[in-house]
């Protein structure tokens, strides 16, 4: 099988590499338009639109799997995407500190195998618990963090790690790709 990751995220590239497969990277560039009633539906829809965009460019490619993914942070039912700026990031961290929230990653697989085309999607949820933070800690974090390109304004694998008291679920899901679930979904579809 030929695999294409429809994402520019270096974290997703690193995680997908754990499957031990060769893959190309071809980021989707279309506008992200959230659609759905629940966080699961929204991330699955966004992941599917990314995968479908790249699949449309490879319509005649046999034995090909396009992998799209999207991650959001949900706090009190509100979706927190990537912050607009450092002030927005500080506001997100202020909302998340001292409590738990959910991280949803949707994954979509658009494939062509043995002359059969298909699309399959799923969503994974992980609960993340933050320690309480002072205003000084929030300000320092927002001034220096690499969280501007991450949903919720933080990366569990980077400088926010010192404020995370625990997780319930898949750590890799919070990073941006639930790799174990992805492997089992690919295996169930006989795509790996």
List the beta bridge partners of residue 121. 108
Strand partners, 106: 70, 123
- What percentage of the chain exceeds 90 in pLDDT? 87
pLDDT tens digit sequence for 49-107:
999 999 999 887 789 999 999 999 999 999 998 999 999 999 999 999 999 999 999 99
Catalytic (active site) residue 114: no
Name the phi and psi angles at 32, rounded to 5: -85, 115
- Which has the closest alpha carbon to 174: 189, 154, 148? 154
Range with the poorest average pLDDT among 33-37, 39-43, 102-106, 129-133: 33-37
CA distance 151 to 140: 19
| Candidates 63, 70, 149, 170; catalytic one | 70
Q: Contact, 101 vs 152, CB < 8 A? A: yes
**pLDDT tens, position by position, 138-156:** 999 999 999 998 999 999 9
Which residue in this structure is represented by tokens 């995680």?
A: 15
| Positions of E strands within the chain | 2-5, 23-25, 64-75, 78-80, 100-113, 116-130, 164-168
């Amino acid at each position: 099988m030929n695999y294409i990751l429809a994402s520019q995220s270096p974290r997703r590239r690193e995680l997908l590499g754990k499957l031990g497969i060769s893959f190309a990277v071809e980021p989707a560039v279309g506008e992200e338009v959230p659609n759905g009633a629940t966080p699961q539906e929204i991330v699955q829809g966004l992941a599917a639109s990314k995968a479908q965009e790249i699949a449309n460019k490879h319509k005649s490619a046999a034995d090909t799997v396009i992998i799209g993914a999207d991650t959001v942070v949900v706090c009190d039912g509100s979706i927190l995407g990537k912050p607009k700026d450092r002030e927005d990031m500080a506001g997100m961290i202020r909302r998340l500190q001292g409590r738990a929230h959910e991280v949803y990653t949707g994954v979509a697989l658009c494939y062509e195998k043995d002359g059969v085309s298909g699309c399959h999607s799923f969503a994974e949820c992980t609960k993340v618990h933050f320690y309480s933070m002072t205003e000084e800690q929030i300000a320092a974090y927002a001034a220096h963090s690499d969280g501007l390109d991450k949903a919720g304004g933080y990366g569990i694998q980077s400088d926010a790690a010192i404020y995370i008291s625990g997780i319930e679920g898949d750590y890799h899901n919070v990073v941006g790709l639930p790799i174990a679930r992805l492997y089992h979904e690919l295996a169930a579809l006989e795509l790996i």
